[in-house]
Amino acid sequence: MHFRAMVLAMSSWEHASFDLADFRAVQVRPAVREDAAVVAGVYHRGWHAAHAAALPWLAIERPPEAFAAKVPSMLQHCLVAEVCGPGVVGFAAWSGAELGQLFIEPSYTGSGLGAVILDRAEKIIRDSGIDEAFLTCVVGNHRARAFYLQHGWVDRGVEAYQAQTEKGRVPVPVWRLTKRM
């Protein structure tokens, strides 16, 4: 299998492309405590790349510190994806049957890395005895919805997610997707 990846040159924030003959160059492993800061950074950048256009009012309330505060509780059920050079460039986190987070560095969008992480997370969820998993995706994030549909997830309609804001909880429309494990 051949896939194209974008490498983020951390010192200059320039992009260089390279080909990987297969996915052996990507290591997907359980997250450890020492990954917390880098996962928080990927989470922040990935979330803003995916949601800022659809939820600009909420993006303002999501500084890096907000993501850093959430990461420690996610690490027990979290996989990270590392690529030679940049290190950790993506992660997936789940709780029971819910795939709660799957984010990659924005420069890796479309590289196939998300599919690698998703496949591994689904396997762990399935192996834990879950028959059907679910996730939610913000209405307006068409790229993410299409990605999940392409990977066998089924759109079950729109529901309201209660997003925490400075003024309390605010309903945000999300697509609910499910997949038989």
* pLDDT confidence of residue 24: 53
36-41: long-range pairs with CB below 8 Å, 24+: 36/68, 36/71, 36/72, 36/75, 37/68, 38/80, 38/87, 38/88, 39/71, 39/74, 39/75, 39/78, 39/80, 39/88, 39/91, 40/64, 40/67, 40/68, 40/70, 40/71, 41/67
Instruction: Kindly report, residue by residue over 35-69, the tens digit of the pLDDT.
Output: 999 999 999 999 999 999 999 999 999 999 999 99
pTM of the model: 0.85
* pLDDT confidence of residue 26: 87
Query: Three-class SS of residue 18?
Result: strand
Q: Please give the structure tokens belonging to residue 131.
A: 């028959």
Position of tokens 């997370």?
Answer: 121
Instruction: Kindly report, residue by residue over 96-109, the tens digit of the pLDDT.
Output: 999 999 999 999 99
pLDDT cut 70: percent of the chain above it: 87
Fold of domain 24-180: Aminopeptidase (3.40.630)
Query: What does the alpha-carbon distance between residue 55 and residue 11 come to, in Å, rounded to a whole number?
Result: 30
* pLDDT confidence of residue 19: 41
Instruction: Kindly report, residue by residue over 131-171, the tens digit of the pLDDT.
Output: 999 999 999 999 999 999 999 999 999 999 999 888 899 99
* pLDDT confidence of residue 1: 31
* pLDDT confidence of residue 7: 31
Query: What does the alpha-carbon distance between residue 77 and residue 75 come to, in Å, rounded to a whole number?
Result: 5
Q: What is the residue extent of each domain of the chain?
A: 24-180
Res 84 pLDDT > 90: no
DSSP 45: H
